[in-house]
Chain A
Amino acid sequence: MTVTHENRISLLTPEQVSLIARRLRKLVFPIGLVTVILSLVMGVATFLILTGLTPIVPTHNVVVTMLAINGVLVAVMICIIVWQIAELFLARKRQDAGSRLHIRIVGLFSVIAVIPAILLAIFASISLDRGLDHWFSSRTKSIINSAIDVANSYLSEHGQVIRADIVATANDLEANASQFQAYVNSITGLPSNIVESDPARFGPFLTVQASMRALPGAYLLDGQGKILSKASGDDEIPFIPPSREHLKAAEAGRIVLIPPGQTNQVRALKRIEKFDDAYLYLVRMVDPKVITHLRNTRENVIEYGQLDQRRTGVQIAFGLMYVAIALTLLLAALWLGLWFANRLVSPIRRLITAANVVSEGDLDVKVKVKKRDGDLGQLSSTFNTMVTVLKEQRNDLLNVNTLLNDRRRFMEAVLSGVSAGVIGVNVDGNITLVNRSAEKLLSVSEKDLLDQPLSNVLGDFSDLYLQAREQPDKFVQDQIMLVIAGVERNFAVRVTREQSGDEDHGYIITFDDITELVTAQRSSAWADVARRIAHEIKNPLTPIQLSAERIRRKYGKSITEDREIFEQCTDTIIRQVGDIGRMVDEFSSFARMPKPVMEQNDVRTVVRDAVTLFSVSEPEIDFPVELDADPIMTLCDQRLLSQAVTNLVKNATEAIAARTEQDPEQENFQGEVKTVVRSNDKNFIVEVIDNGIGLPAKHRNRLLEPYMTTREKGTGLGLAIVQKIAEQHGGTVQLEDASHFREVLNDNKVNKDNKDNKEGNDTGACVRMIIPIAAPMGSHGDTEPHDNSGLKTDEGIVSTA
């Protein structure tokens, strides 16, 4: 049946095949169950019938039928089992979950089931053989034969006795025959009718004879078996006439002994020679029990003989039966084993399958829990619980992960968006994190910093970091000055410990560029002071000046003696007071610098005009001007820009003057202030390069602050004003040494660079203004690019030594 199904299956689609297979698998169990039960019932029935415990006689036909039915059932079971085993091996070939375990369990059950069945069969056939041997042993045979012999001897003894009796009686009859001859002839005329002719005479004679010999019956019969005469008292026993064969045998002259047969009489028949056709017939009684026993014994002997002849056949039949029953049992056990293994393995298989699915990461799997699975069912439900818990935990983890990711993204966004520089340092002092602002502020690349020891790459921060490590509870901050791209910058640095809880916590260094802030703070503080002081100073100046002038006017004419001294003193007072007044004006004008008025101008013109004034007033110094060939048109306040350039050139001339004063004997020194105006795409650059006393190495940037000066008489406002004007135009000011430009200058100074001067020439300053070119944008023409927010500050131009 398997084959036919498979043939059909091969024509179907895989889905249908699996569907049919599933249905078949479902059908297999009931079919198997029914078959097994039927087989067992049939086996028991066969056994009962064979052992004769049922009314059905185990005839040949019955036995064959039973065997055939059993055979069919066994065949069906074999089919089912083969199919199931084939499925098992297919599953194993497919490497299905639990198939190996399944096969093992089936094997074990089969062995457990088969061994007793086989043993039983062996024992059964051996004991059968042994039993039969006993039954047919020679002793048993001799016992049976002796019993027969005894019975026969008993009967033959009776026969001998009755033979003797009949011979004697016949002799007596014949001896008296002559007395009856005449009598018989007279009556019948025939010799054979003598008894009939005188039965009364023979009657007493027979009676005498019978009683003398203790015979229960004695008869005189004719040739037909008719009673001619009989002994009296014969009525007590029934008369059984002898058969015709016996009469014939007696007629031949023999003494005929008739064995008891169905009766309990031993009879003898003899022809009386002296009479014609007369027979003596004697009856002797035998014990009826003996007769019955004898008969039974005979029958048994006959059956025994038959059995002995059929012995092999019986043995084969029994053997077959045993085989059939054993097979039935075996197959039933096998099937039970299979079924049990299926039951046992199927939850395990489900578990393994589910576990495989889980191991592939799918936690949505659920094992079907059946109540009849018992402990395995409990295991399944535990497994389900486990998977559920696992799933919940995984979901929790995923959620937490998502949350963390969100936070991380948020933190990254914050880090990259925040203007402060952030540097992460781990417990070993290595840098783990650098945000974009930090890169920008320090003008370094993240690659150069990551995983490097802080002390190596950012030594300035390292001290603060170490300080923070020593005092983990406090939070450490300080201001640190760094030279970034040639520009001194102020950083407010703060070191914070990570709040991680465990011991390996890192540190976060945050820092802000507060250069502008510091400058602005200083400026505003100074401007405040300047405004107040200017007011307070200017007030007394007026009376002093007025007083001095009044003294000169009122008493100048009346003084005749040492009039020059009087004039000089009053002049000095008036002049110095005027100087103070101008200085105060300068202060207050810086403190409240006018807002620039932006107009379209050519920078070149503005710069050239400003410098030209100096070449007139300072004839000892050269003022070369290098300008771009093309006009540099930009929005700027001409007056402010001019003032800035004027301040720069004035500073330069003062630096040269200072150098001359410092070293008056220096010969061959030609002061020179070179002004360069150039432009690139974004900016125009004004450089004022001198060969004066040069800039101080330290705190150079503070020169841009108000009231910072290196000169005794300086207000410290020149560069501050330049800075402020540059800022108002969205630009910056850089202070550098002029040594970079020395060669250029030397080329210009023909025959003036001897060795003595070389060192002296190696000074000088270069002040550079970098200001973005602002094109007029429609109505925006008059916008005022104050502060750095208005226009982008361009940084990153060259660096100083």
Chain B
Amino acid sequence: MASDILIVDDENDIRELISGILQDEGYSTRLAKDSTQALTAVEERRPSLVVLDI
């Protein structure tokens, strides 16, 4: 299993784009559109990297 990257952004397009580009490079990605989802995803499994729109 490749490195797990969590992408948090409220913009769907941006989320999808970043995820696509990273997948192109061979990373596995998970997506979260808000803090609740993001925290749930982190609890579920700790990601190697979080791309966070602050």
A554 and B14 contact, CB distance less than 8 A: no
Q: Within 8 Å of chain A (Cβ to Cβ): is B18?
A: yes
Q: Select from chain A the residue with minimum beta-carbon distance to B18.
A: A546
Q: Are the CB atoms of A550 and B24 closer together than 8 Å?
A: yes
A553 interface residue (CB < 8 Å to B)? yes
B17→A543 contact, CB < 8 A? yes
| Most A-side CB within 10 Å, residue of B11, B17, B18 | B17
Given A543-B17, A546-B17, A546-B18, A553 and B24 contact (CB-CB distance below 8 Å): yes
Query: Which B residue sits closest to A550, measured CB to CB?
Result: B21
Q: Mark A523-549, 1 if CB is under 8 A from B, else 0.
A: 000000000000000011011001100
Tell me the smallest distance from the CB of A554 to a CB of chain B, in Å: 6
Q: Which residues of B contact A546 (CB under 8 A)?
A: 14, 17-18, 21
Q: Which listed residue (A540, A542, A550) contacts B20, Cβ 8 A?
A: A550
A530 CA to B38 CA in the complex, in Å? Answer: 33
B13-51 interface with A by 8 A CB criterion: 13-14, 17-18, 20-21, 24
A546 to B11, CA, bound (A): 13
- Interchain nearest-CB distance for B49 vs A (Å): 18
* Min CB gap A556→B, angstroms: 12
Residue pair A550, B17 in contact (C-beta under 8 Å): yes
Whether A554 pairs with B24 at a CB distance below 8 angstroms is yes
How many A residues, CB 8 Å from partner? 9
A547–B11 Cα distance when bound, in Å, is 14
Tell me, rounded to whole Å, the shortest Cβ–Cβ distance linking B33 to chain A: 15
With a cutoff of 8 Å between Cβ atoms, the chain B residues found around residue A550 in the complex are 17, 20-21, 24
The total of interchain contacts (Cβ-Cβ below 8 angstroms) comes to 20
Residues of chain B lying within 8 A (CB to CB) of residue A540: 13
Q: How many chain B residues touch the partner (CB < 8 A)? A: 8
Instruction: State whether A543 touches B21 (Cβ < 8 A).
Output: no
In the assembly, what is the distance between CA of A546 and CA of B21, in Å? Answer: 9
Contact indicator per residue, chain A 170-193, by CB within 8 Å of chain B (1) or not (0):
000000000000000000000000
User: B17 contacts which chain A residues (CB < 8 A)?
Assistant: 543, 546-547, 550
Contact partners of A543 in chain B: CB under 8 A: 11, 13-14, 17
Minimum CB distance partner of A540 in chain B = B13
Query: Cβ of B21: which chain A residues have Cβ within 8 Å of it?
Result: 546, 550, 553
Question: In the assembly, what is the distance between CA of A242 and CA of B18, in Å?
Answer: 209
Chain B residues closer than 8 Å to A553, beta-carbon distance: 21, 24
What's the Cα separation between A683 and B36 when bound, in Å?
A: 61
CB pair B11 A539 closer than 8 Å: yes
In Å, the complex CA distance between A539 and B11 comes to: 9
In the complex, which residue of chain A has the Cβ closest to the Cβ of B14? A543
Instruction: Select the residue from B13, B18, B24 with max chain A CB neighbours within 10 A.
Output: B13
- Choose among A540, A543, A547, A554 the residue with the greatest number of B CB atoms under 10 Å from its CB: A543
B19 to chain A, nearest CB (A): 11
A547–B20 alpha-carbon span in the complex (Å): 10
User: Shortest distance in angstroms between A673's beta carbon and chain B's nearest beta carbon?
Assistant: 44
From A546, which residue of chain B is reached at the shortest CB distance?
A: B17
| Bound CA span A554–B14, Å | 17
Nearest CB of A to B16, in Å:
9
The residue of chain B having its C-beta at the shortest distance from the C-beta of A542 within the complex is B14
Q: How far in angstroms is the closest Cβ of chain B from A384?
A: 98
Which A residues are CB-close (under 8 A) to B18?
Answer: 546
Given the complex, which residues of A lie within 8 Å of B11, measured CB to CB?
539, 543
For residue B13, which residues in chain A have a CB less than 8 angstroms away from its CB? 540, 543, 547
Most chain-B CB neighbours within 10 Å: which of A539, A546, A554?
A546
- Cβ distance B7 to chain A, nearest Cβ, rounded Å: 12
Q: What is the bound-complex CA distance between A676 and B11, given in angstroms? A: 52
- Complex: how many Å from CA A554 to CA B22? 11
Question: Which residues of chain B are near A547, meaning CB under 8 Å?
Answer: 13, 17
Taken together as a complex, chains A and B put the C-alpha atoms of A553 and B21 apart, in Å, by 9
Q: What's the minimum C-beta distance from A270 to chain B, rounded to whole angstroms?
A: 206
Closest CB in chain B relative to A539 CB, distance in Å: 7
**Once the chains are docked, how many angstroms separate the CA of A554 from the CA of B23?**
11
Complex CA distance for A539 and B9, rounded to whole angstroms? 12
Distance to closest chain A CB from B10 (angstroms): 10
Chain B residues near A539 (CB-CB < 8 A):
11
Closest B residue to A553 using CB positions:
B24
Q: Which A residue sits closest to B12, measured CB to CB?
A: A543
Least Cβ–Cβ distance between A133 and chain B, in angstroms: 162
Q: Which residues of A lie under 8 Å from residue B20 when comparing CB positions?
A: 550
Q: Closest residue to A554 on the B side, CB-wise?
A: B24
Residues of A close to B24: CB separation below 8 A: 550, 553-554
Q: How far apart are the CA atoms of A554 and B26 in the complex, in Å?
A: 12
CB distance from B20 to the nearest CB of A (A): 6
With a cutoff of 8 Å between Cβ atoms, the chain B residues found around residue A554 in the complex are 24
- Complex CA–CA separation, A277 to B12 (angstroms): 218
In the assembled complex, the CB of A471 is this many whole angstroms from the nearest CB of chain B, namely 58
Task: Report the Cα distance A540→B20, complex, angstroms.
Answer: 17
- Give Cα A546 to B24, complex, Å: 13
Nearest CB in chain A to that of B24: its residue? A554
Please give the distance in Å from A495's CB to the nearest CB on chain B. Answer: 57
A734 vs B21: C-alpha distance when bound (angstroms): 52
Q: List the B residue with the shortest CB-CB distance to A543.
A: B13
Q: How far is the CB of A153 from chain B (nearest CB, A)?
A: 189
What is the bound-complex CA distance between A553 and B22, given in angstroms?
12
**B residues less than 8 Å from A542 (CB atoms):** 14
Cα–Cα distance between A542 and B11 once the two chains are bound (Å): 11
Q: Which residues of A contact B14 (CB under 8 A)?
A: 542-543, 546
- Distance to closest chain B CB from A543 (angstroms): 4
Chain A min CB distance to B17 (Å): 5
Pairs A-B, 5 closest by C-beta atoms: A543-B13, A546-B17, A550-B21, A543-B14, A543-B17
- Given A540-B13, A550-B24, list of 10 further CB < 8 A pairs? A539-B11, A542-B14, A543-B11, A543-B13, A543-B14, A546-B17, A547-B17, A550-B17, A550-B21, A553-B24
Binding site for A on B (CB under 8 A): 11, 13-14, 17-18, 20-21, 24
17 interchain pairs, CB-CB under 8 A: A539-B11, A540-B13, A542-B14, A543-B11, A543-B13, A543-B14, A543-B17, A546-B14, A546-B17, A546-B18, A547-B13, A547-B17, A550-B17, A550-B20, A550-B21, A550-B24, A553-B24
Q: CB within 8 Å of B: which residues of A? A: 539-540, 542-543, 546-547, 550, 553-554
